[in-house]
Structure 1
């Protein structure tokens, strides 16, 4: 373990790590740009001459904020809490980006209404210009927040070996650098509307589902996924959204390999039937291949449905795992 005599040395080391992430540099450069000459964050306030933050400084700050938590707590009695703290920090970027996105959507709706109801008056022209400026300002802020979230998520993944997964909503990125993690409801809604956008990733669906308890052999799961991706390079991963066990192993593999993920969470409004209705929807999406690992009756039901639909299926049981190692303990 590298040791540092002071915080300044630690900070310098972290910033060097940030500079070494070429994809992250590209994402920041593409996000931290001014879409308009003036910034307008509210329809009430006047536009202001404010620049976007310096991309390099923000990148260094995010690296420090997330990475240093792991550095300072490592090999101490508080080390086990570093992951939880860092997860919350990444989530704060995600939730803030979602708030800005909703404001952007509202502004875009208003802009659409103005365009549809043309008025030759000067008042209309001013309102149209200000609304467009407002919408573009929010777009720039959202894209920048998403770049920060994706960077923070990447640091979290490097430090923990696990993919950061949003508990609410979808994690999508416009920069094409980070693989998207899409909420199943968003995905199904996008398909129903035949929308070809960032919430409906294109590609053959490969389904993964497994129990949460007792699974540690991530290498077995990753090996199967590596083989599938070699045959189906444009695959999209569909999981049953569990935050532990096989689903989490698969999500981490997807993030590591740049594969978009759709997490199909059960709709709890259907009560005990929810997981089984979710399984039915998964099969209707016509996956091209699937991995189902021992868990509960939910996994058994999914495996039966997939077999009946003729989907090539890899079934793995707990006893199929290799002996637990120090590295695989983190998945248990």
Structure 2
């Protein structure tokens, strides 16, 4: 049996909520994840301070769980709105004729769905923080009165849409079929140090052992992705390029390229958000598009691993 935890990977959770919101290109700022958590904690703290030690204390469970349940109802409602947006996307995909107008409608439908998804994930974080504070203070564990907490925002309509998108993008990006075993890769433009090359090649060799008929999907950007492209050419691995269209999409082009990569329904996503070189840019932030691709993979249940330095846990 093949191992699923190769030693050269750090599978630490990649939190790209801020990168996910940035991809929406909304001129208004989004609240950060720490701010959303703080809001949930503050709501519950204020409520508990008001109720505990008063005549309402005997009913603290019902009162607190009603508030958390209200947040959960909001998440559920937003998820339903997202489902409807995905249905619109599926219809647009079924009617797609390759025209510029149809492509614009497709992108707009996807943007609407993504915006609702972000709102649902934001309220979800407020709910979870409030529930955690409630559990810490009372020892009780909140759970929905009806239904369950949704583990994924992916719906049947979205899966159908992804299948159609995959076929469309395969035709747009490459004349040949991308294949069933697509491995998507994004890396920092600074990820071209000798240490980066070594770990990228290790990761890609591992991926090829796991998926022998893999094709490699990337944007062709400088740095780590050019190293990966060179590896694919040397190994005879098919390449699928999703080049960012800066003229059309401006600053959001790297994130739109991620949408194209995910439309290919990869079996695995590899990311190198930061150079591993000792002479790299110390203190530089992780590469946002790489974090965004990792976040998209997690939302869709696609395996995602972060390439780390040799010996990193």
TM over 0.5: no
RCO higher in structure (CA 8 A, sep ≥6): 2
Smaller-chain TM-score range? 0.3 to 0.5
TM-score, L = length of structure 2: 0.41
TM-score, L = length of structure 1: 0.38
